[in-house]
Amino acid sequence: MVRTLAWAFALLLLVLLEARPGAAQTVLPMSIRKVGFDQKLNEQVPLDLVFKDEAGREVRLGDYIHDKPVILVLAYFRCPMLCSEVLNGLVRGMLDLPFEVGKDFEVLTVSFDPSETPEMATAKKHTYVQRYGRPGGAAGWHFLTGKEDAIKKLTAAVGFRYTYDAAHEQFAHASGIMILTPGGKIARYIFDVQFPPRDLRLALVEASANRIGSPADQILLFCFHYDPVEGKYGPAILNLLRLGGVLTLGAIGIFWICLWRRERRPAPKAVTAE
Protein backbone atom coordinates (compact mmCIF):
# COMPACT_ATOMS: atom_id res chain seq x y z
CA MET A 1 0.00 0.00 0.00
CA VAL A 2 2.84 2.39 0.92
CA ARG A 3 4.63 1.67 -2.35
CA THR A 4 1.45 2.31 -4.34
CA LEU A 5 0.92 5.64 -2.58
CA ALA A 6 4.53 6.62 -3.23
CA TRP A 7 4.11 5.78 -6.92
CA ALA A 8 0.88 7.78 -7.11
CA PHE A 9 2.63 10.73 -5.46
CA ALA A 10 5.43 10.54 -8.02
CA LEU A 11 2.93 10.61 -10.87
CA LEU A 12 1.23 13.63 -9.30
CA LEU A 13 4.57 15.41 -9.16
CA LEU A 14 5.04 14.63 -12.84
CA VAL A 15 1.78 16.38 -13.71
CA LEU A 16 2.63 19.40 -11.57
CA LEU A 17 6.22 19.74 -12.79
CA GLU A 18 5.81 18.80 -16.43
CA ALA A 19 5.92 22.45 -17.46
CA ARG A 20 9.17 22.88 -15.46
CA PRO A 21 11.51 20.23 -16.86
CA GLY A 22 14.52 21.44 -14.89
CA ALA A 23 12.72 21.06 -11.59
CA ALA A 24 11.23 17.73 -12.65
CA GLN A 25 14.66 16.29 -13.42
CA THR A 26 15.85 16.94 -9.86
CA VAL A 27 12.69 15.78 -8.04
CA LEU A 28 11.17 12.91 -9.98
CA PRO A 29 12.33 9.29 -9.74
CA MET A 30 14.58 8.11 -12.55
CA SER A 31 11.87 5.74 -13.88
CA ILE A 32 9.56 8.58 -14.86
CA ARG A 33 11.92 11.43 -15.78
CA LYS A 34 11.70 10.64 -19.47
CA VAL A 35 7.93 10.61 -19.85
CA GLY A 36 5.94 13.44 -21.43
CA PHE A 37 4.75 14.82 -24.75
CA ASP A 38 6.83 15.93 -27.72
CA GLN A 39 4.43 18.15 -29.63
CA LYS A 40 4.24 17.24 -33.31
CA LEU A 41 1.72 19.75 -34.53
CA ASN A 42 0.52 19.23 -38.09
CA GLU A 43 2.13 15.78 -38.27
CA GLN A 44 0.15 12.95 -39.85
CA VAL A 45 -1.07 10.09 -37.68
CA PRO A 46 -0.49 6.74 -39.47
CA LEU A 47 -3.99 5.74 -40.52
CA ASP A 48 -3.06 2.22 -41.62
CA LEU A 49 -2.18 0.98 -38.12
CA VAL A 50 -4.28 -2.03 -37.10
CA PHE A 51 -5.95 -2.35 -33.67
CA LYS A 52 -8.93 -4.23 -32.25
CA ASP A 53 -12.23 -2.63 -31.34
CA GLU A 54 -14.42 -3.47 -28.34
CA ALA A 55 -15.89 -6.46 -30.17
CA GLY A 56 -12.47 -7.90 -31.01
CA ARG A 57 -12.66 -6.97 -34.70
CA GLU A 58 -9.54 -5.75 -36.47
CA VAL A 59 -9.85 -2.10 -37.44
CA ARG A 60 -7.61 0.58 -38.89
CA LEU A 61 -7.16 4.01 -37.35
CA GLY A 62 -8.37 5.39 -40.67
CA ASP A 63 -11.77 3.78 -40.05
CA TYR A 64 -12.39 6.44 -37.38
CA ILE A 65 -10.59 9.39 -38.93
CA HIS A 66 -12.33 10.64 -42.03
CA ASP A 67 -14.90 13.46 -41.99
CA LYS A 68 -14.89 14.83 -38.41
CA PRO A 69 -12.30 16.10 -35.96
CA VAL A 70 -11.16 13.47 -33.47
CA ILE A 71 -10.16 13.67 -29.82
CA LEU A 72 -7.38 11.11 -29.33
CA VAL A 73 -6.75 9.82 -25.80
CA LEU A 74 -3.91 7.45 -25.00
CA ALA A 75 -4.87 5.66 -21.78
CA TYR A 76 -4.46 2.14 -20.48
CA PHE A 77 -7.56 0.65 -18.91
CA ARG A 78 -5.99 -0.78 -15.73
CA CYS A 79 -4.34 2.51 -14.80
CA PRO A 80 -4.93 3.04 -11.06
CA MET A 81 -5.14 6.82 -11.17
CA LEU A 82 -4.04 9.17 -13.94
CA CYS A 83 -5.79 7.68 -17.00
CA SER A 84 -9.11 7.66 -15.16
CA GLU A 85 -8.59 11.28 -14.16
CA VAL A 86 -7.95 12.20 -17.81
CA LEU A 87 -11.08 10.38 -19.00
CA ASN A 88 -13.19 11.84 -16.18
CA GLY A 89 -11.96 15.33 -16.99
CA LEU A 90 -12.71 14.81 -20.66
CA VAL A 91 -16.30 13.73 -19.91
CA ARG A 92 -16.86 16.81 -17.75
CA GLY A 93 -15.52 19.06 -20.47
CA MET A 94 -17.56 17.42 -23.24
CA LEU A 95 -20.81 17.69 -21.26
CA ASP A 96 -20.53 21.49 -21.44
CA LEU A 97 -19.88 21.56 -25.19
CA PRO A 98 -22.51 22.62 -27.74
CA PHE A 99 -21.17 19.78 -29.94
CA GLU A 100 -22.16 16.11 -29.77
CA VAL A 101 -19.94 13.04 -29.82
CA GLY A 102 -20.71 11.02 -32.94
CA LYS A 103 -22.40 13.93 -34.68
CA ASP A 104 -19.81 16.71 -34.62
CA PHE A 105 -16.64 14.86 -33.56
CA GLU A 106 -15.32 11.42 -32.62
CA VAL A 107 -13.42 10.28 -29.53
CA LEU A 108 -10.77 7.59 -29.87
CA THR A 109 -9.29 6.05 -26.71
CA VAL A 110 -6.37 3.74 -27.44
CA SER A 111 -4.68 1.61 -24.77
CA PHE A 112 -0.88 1.70 -24.82
CA ASP A 113 -0.68 -1.53 -22.79
CA PRO A 114 -0.33 -4.41 -25.31
CA SER A 115 -1.55 -6.95 -22.72
CA GLU A 116 -5.03 -5.39 -22.49
CA THR A 117 -7.95 -7.03 -24.24
CA PRO A 118 -11.14 -6.05 -26.12
CA GLU A 119 -13.13 -7.23 -23.08
CA MET A 120 -11.39 -4.57 -20.98
CA ALA A 121 -12.13 -2.02 -23.69
CA THR A 122 -15.81 -2.99 -23.62
CA ALA A 123 -16.03 -2.51 -19.85
CA LYS A 124 -14.27 0.86 -20.00
CA LYS A 125 -16.46 2.03 -22.86
CA HIS A 126 -19.63 1.07 -20.99
CA THR A 127 -18.51 3.12 -17.98
CA TYR A 128 -17.71 6.30 -19.90
CA VAL A 129 -20.53 6.19 -22.40
CA GLN A 130 -22.87 5.96 -19.43
CA ARG A 131 -21.21 8.95 -17.79
CA TYR A 132 -21.46 10.94 -20.99
CA GLY A 133 -25.11 9.99 -21.24
CA ARG A 134 -25.94 11.62 -24.56
CA PRO A 135 -27.30 9.97 -27.72
CA GLY A 136 -24.51 9.08 -30.11
CA GLY A 137 -21.96 8.44 -27.38
CA ALA A 138 -21.79 4.70 -28.00
CA ALA A 139 -21.41 5.15 -31.75
CA GLY A 140 -18.93 8.02 -31.52
CA TRP A 141 -16.62 7.03 -28.67
CA HIS A 142 -14.31 4.12 -29.45
CA PHE A 143 -11.96 2.12 -27.19
CA LEU A 144 -9.18 0.19 -28.92
CA THR A 145 -6.48 -2.28 -27.94
CA GLY A 146 -3.51 -3.36 -30.01
CA LYS A 147 -0.20 -5.12 -30.37
CA GLU A 148 3.02 -3.56 -29.15
CA ASP A 149 4.29 -2.70 -32.64
CA ALA A 150 1.18 -0.71 -33.57
CA ILE A 151 1.12 0.99 -30.17
CA LYS A 152 4.74 2.09 -30.43
CA LYS A 153 4.22 3.47 -33.93
CA LEU A 154 1.18 5.46 -32.81
CA THR A 155 2.77 6.83 -29.63
CA ALA A 156 5.93 7.78 -31.53
CA ALA A 157 3.87 9.54 -34.21
CA VAL A 158 2.09 11.74 -31.67
CA GLY A 159 5.12 12.25 -29.40
CA PHE A 160 3.72 10.40 -26.38
CA ARG A 161 6.59 9.14 -24.18
CA TYR A 162 5.96 6.62 -21.42
CA THR A 163 7.81 3.94 -19.46
CA TYR A 164 6.87 0.72 -17.73
CA ASP A 165 7.83 0.11 -14.11
CA ALA A 166 8.01 -3.66 -13.66
CA ALA A 167 8.37 -3.38 -9.89
CA HIS A 168 4.97 -1.69 -9.59
CA GLU A 169 3.46 -3.22 -12.75
CA GLN A 170 2.36 0.23 -13.86
CA PHE A 171 3.09 2.66 -16.65
CA ALA A 172 4.48 6.11 -15.99
CA HIS A 173 3.02 8.64 -18.40
CA ALA A 174 1.93 12.25 -18.74
CA SER A 175 -1.65 13.53 -18.90
CA GLY A 176 -3.20 15.14 -21.94
CA ILE A 177 -5.22 14.66 -25.11
CA MET A 178 -4.73 15.40 -28.79
CA ILE A 179 -7.14 16.92 -31.29
CA LEU A 180 -6.86 15.56 -34.85
CA THR A 181 -8.15 17.03 -38.08
CA PRO A 182 -10.59 15.02 -40.23
CA GLY A 183 -7.55 14.05 -42.29
CA GLY A 184 -5.68 12.70 -39.26
CA LYS A 185 -3.16 15.49 -38.65
CA ILE A 186 -2.36 16.66 -35.13
CA ALA A 187 -4.01 20.04 -34.66
CA ARG A 188 -3.74 20.64 -30.92
CA TYR A 189 -2.49 19.17 -27.65
CA ILE A 190 -4.31 19.97 -24.42
CA PHE A 191 -2.42 19.06 -21.25
CA ASP A 192 -3.78 18.41 -17.75
CA VAL A 193 -6.52 16.22 -16.30
CA GLN A 194 -9.11 18.98 -16.61
CA PHE A 195 -10.17 20.12 -20.06
CA PRO A 196 -12.05 23.45 -20.05
CA PRO A 197 -15.02 23.41 -22.42
CA ARG A 198 -13.72 26.60 -24.04
CA ASP A 199 -10.41 24.95 -24.94
CA LEU A 200 -12.12 21.82 -26.26
CA ARG A 201 -14.58 23.91 -28.26
CA LEU A 202 -11.93 26.13 -29.87
CA ALA A 203 -9.64 23.18 -30.61
CA LEU A 204 -12.43 21.24 -32.32
CA VAL A 205 -13.51 24.29 -34.35
CA GLU A 206 -9.94 24.91 -35.51
CA ALA A 207 -9.29 21.23 -36.26
CA SER A 208 -12.46 21.03 -38.34
CA ALA A 209 -11.38 24.06 -40.43
CA ASN A 210 -14.52 25.86 -39.16
CA ARG A 211 -16.86 23.17 -40.47
CA ILE A 212 -18.42 22.96 -37.04
CA GLY A 213 -19.26 25.82 -34.71
CA SER A 214 -21.09 29.12 -35.06
CA PRO A 215 -20.19 32.77 -35.78
CA ALA A 216 -19.71 33.14 -32.02
CA ASP A 217 -16.89 30.58 -32.20
CA GLN A 218 -15.14 32.69 -34.83
CA ILE A 219 -15.23 35.63 -32.42
CA LEU A 220 -13.80 33.44 -29.66
CA LEU A 221 -11.00 32.28 -31.96
CA PHE A 222 -10.20 35.94 -32.65
CA CYS A 223 -10.04 36.69 -28.92
CA PHE A 224 -8.09 33.60 -27.81
CA HIS A 225 -4.92 32.06 -29.15
CA TYR A 226 -3.40 28.61 -28.63
CA ASP A 227 -0.22 28.44 -26.55
CA PRO A 228 1.64 25.25 -27.53
CA VAL A 229 3.94 25.48 -24.49
CA GLU A 230 1.05 25.51 -22.03
CA GLY A 231 -1.18 23.32 -24.18
CA LYS A 232 -4.18 25.60 -23.69
CA TYR A 233 -5.88 28.72 -25.00
CA GLY A 234 -5.30 32.18 -23.57
CA PRO A 235 -6.42 35.74 -24.36
CA ALA A 236 -5.00 37.09 -27.61
CA ILE A 237 -3.98 40.47 -26.20
CA LEU A 238 -3.08 42.05 -29.54
CA ASN A 239 -6.34 40.95 -31.11
CA LEU A 240 -8.29 42.25 -28.13
CA LEU A 241 -6.52 45.62 -28.44
CA ARG A 242 -7.33 45.72 -32.14
CA LEU A 243 -10.96 44.85 -31.44
CA GLY A 244 -11.10 47.52 -28.75
CA GLY A 245 -9.64 50.07 -31.17
CA VAL A 246 -12.19 49.20 -33.86
CA LEU A 247 -15.07 49.49 -31.37
CA THR A 248 -13.72 52.82 -30.11
CA LEU A 249 -13.44 54.22 -33.64
CA GLY A 250 -16.92 52.96 -34.41
CA ALA A 251 -18.33 54.65 -31.32
CA ILE A 252 -16.60 57.94 -32.22
CA GLY A 253 -17.91 57.70 -35.76
CA ILE A 254 -21.48 57.13 -34.58
CA PHE A 255 -21.17 60.10 -32.18
CA TRP A 256 -20.04 62.47 -34.96
CA ILE A 257 -22.73 61.26 -37.36
CA CYS A 258 -25.41 61.88 -34.73
CA LEU A 259 -23.95 65.32 -33.99
CA TRP A 260 -23.78 66.21 -37.71
CA ARG A 261 -27.38 65.13 -38.31
CA ARG A 262 -28.52 67.15 -35.32
CA GLU A 263 -26.82 70.29 -36.62
CA ARG A 264 -28.39 69.87 -40.06
CA ARG A 265 -31.85 69.50 -38.62
CA PRO A 266 -33.90 72.66 -39.47
CA ALA A 267 -34.65 74.92 -36.54
CA PRO A 268 -38.29 74.98 -35.37
CA LYS A 269 -40.31 77.91 -36.71
CA ALA A 270 -41.11 80.67 -34.25
CA VAL A 271 -44.74 81.03 -33.27
CA THR A 272 -46.06 84.63 -33.62
CA ALA A 273 -48.88 85.95 -31.49
CA GLU A 274 -51.87 87.43 -33.33
pLDDT in tens, 223-244: 666 677 666 667 654 343 344 4
Query: Does the pLDDT at position 257 exceed 50?
Result: yes
Which tens digits make up the pLDDT trace of 11-54? 444 544 444 444 444 555 655 668 999 999 999 999 999 999 99
**Which structural domains are found in the chain, ordered by start?**
7-212 (3.40.30.10)
From the list 204, 188, 186, 213, the residue with the least C-alpha distance to 68 is 204
Vertex 85 angle, CA 80 and 91, to 5°: 135
Cα 28 → chain centroid: 26
Query: Does the pLDDT at position 251 exceed 90?
Result: no
Averaged pLDDT, 108-115: 98
Q: What is the pLDDT of residue 231?
A: 62
Q: What is the pLDDT of residue 227?
A: 74
Q: What is the pLDDT of residue 238?
A: 38
Q: Which of 122-131, 215-224, 241-250 has the lowest mean pLDDT?
A: 241-250
Q: Are 65 and 180 in contact (CB under 8 A)?
A: yes
Query: Does the pLDDT at position 115 exceed 90?
Result: yes
Number of residues that this document lists for the chain: 274
With left for phi above 0 and alpha for psi between -120 and 50, is residue 141 left, alpha or beta?
A: beta
Give the DSSP H or E segment for 73.
strand 70-74
Q: Report the C-alpha gap between 263 and 258 in whole angstroms.
A: 9
Alpha carbon distances (Å) from 106 to 73, 89, 159, 211, 220: 11, 16, 21, 14, 22
From the list 208, 199, 17, 190, the residue with the least C-alpha distance to 103 is 208
